[in-house]
Amino acid sequence: MIESHELGKKAEALAGEYLQKNGYRILARNYRYLKAEVDLIVIKDDILVGVEVKARSAGFVVAPHEAVSPKKIQLLVTALDHFVQQNDLNVEVRFDIITYIFKGNDWVQNHIESAFYPFG
């Protein structure tokens, strides 16, 4: 069985490939600010997207997208805001979640666009 860290890295690599094939340009991987980390920061059509990648092996208890807590959302918002300010960007921002469920060598992907809203 693949260890959790390896599973996460495999999922992040698959997500990056998937996004690039769908017209996104990767600006940053594992972007860190203070205690926050955004797995992928991508852009397409002047929309900056912070992407949280979640992976589980078959037999999970909590669905991968449900593992993004309000605290994690707050950290993601803070980090992506810092990225926007640091790079003096004037873009629309959204947050997506890409999930992977692995069963051996097989996997199922789900891309949830606008998965949560940073304000409100």
User: Average pLDDT, stretch 75-96?
Assistant: 94
Nearest CA to 47 out of 115, 100, 101, 114 is that of: 114
What is the pLDDT at residue 117?
Answer: 72
Q: What is the dihedral of CA 9, 11, 16, 17, to 10 degrees?
A: 120
pLDDT at 1 over 50: no
pLDDT at 63 over 60: no
What is the pLDDT at residue 65?
Answer: 57
DSSP 28-93: EEEEEETTEEEEEEEEETTEEEEEEEEEEETT-SS-GGGG--HHHHHHHHHHHHHHHHHTT---EE
Looking at residue 9, which CATH number applies to its domain?
A: 3.40.1350.10
Nearest CA to 67 out of 80, 54, 77 is that of: 54
Alpha-carbon span 48 to 93, nearest angstrom: 5
How many domains in the chain?
Answer: 1
What is the pLDDT at residue 80?
Answer: 95
Q: Hey, what are 29's tokens?
A: 């991987």
Determine the structural domain holding residue 34 and report its residue range.
Answer: 4-116
Top mean-pLDDT range of 2-6, 20-24, 72-76: 20-24
What is the pLDDT at residue 8?
Answer: 86
